[in-house]
Amino acid sequence: MQITIALCDDDSEQIKNLRRLIGEWAENKPFAVNIAGYESGEQFLFEYRDNPCDLLLLDIEMSGINGMALAKKLRGDGDMLPIIFITGYSDYMSDGYDVEALHYLLKPVETDKLFAVLDRYAARHESSEEIVLSTADGVCRIAADSIAYIEAFGRKTAVHLRDKATLECNMSISEFANFEGFIHCHRSYIVNLEQVRAITKNAVIIETGEEVPLSRRLYNDVNKSFIEFYTKRE
């Protein structure tokens, strides 16, 4: 496992201090931790598409676009990137519910509180796989178990979610086959085995009730993978 943590604060000394503390937290961890620093919300948004992160430590009071506005933009784009707000004021905490912030830390940041929040995040990150999608609007982070199936069309893919929403991605469908629990059922379709309700001779029935085409040559592989997937979970 590897975690990339982004720090966004218009105070360079604050970024420097957080880098030091996170470095201390990461010293004895069994996974690699990368740290990226951004001194404005605009810089973060500009670079985020090409340099996605797993966790964002975000200052609220910044010049230009402030932390709360940045978080609302991410959520408006459908991106559920985990965010830990860092602020000198407790007044903003109620606003954090609107953007589903992971936690708040008050300045000056206390080492034990920071470490506790990072420990909780790392435990959650290890147990739930997330997928970073590349879309026309930038990167979008979603939980793997929120995907029902993926459909290829032209050079793009449509990611169909459990709530029947669809995200259009600039990614090859074959990239999704690398994730555990995802399998080709047709040349143009990949299904999430966790969302499969039943398998017929020519279709995979998803929990949403939708039917995904199943090619004859892949029937045995899909059926075997479906049985093995649920056998391992018992």
Residue 233 binned pLDDT confidence (cut-offs 50, 70, 90): low
In this predicted structure, the answer to whether residue 18 has a pLDDT above a threshold of 90 is: yes
Residue 202 binned pLDDT confidence (cut-offs 50, 70, 90): very high
Cα-Cα-Cα-Cα dihedral of 152, 154, 157, 163, to 10°?
A: -70
In this predicted structure, the answer to whether residue 96 has a pLDDT above a threshold of 60 is: no
11 Cβ neighbours under 8 A, 6+ residues apart: 59
Residue 234: CB atoms within 10 Å? 4
Rounded Cα distance between 37 and 43, Å, is 10
In this predicted structure, the answer to whether residue 66 has a pLDDT above a threshold of 90 is: yes
Helix count and strand count (H, E) for the chain: 6, 15
Which range has the worst mean pLDDT, 22-31, 78-87, 92-101, 212-221? 92-101
Amino acid at 59: D
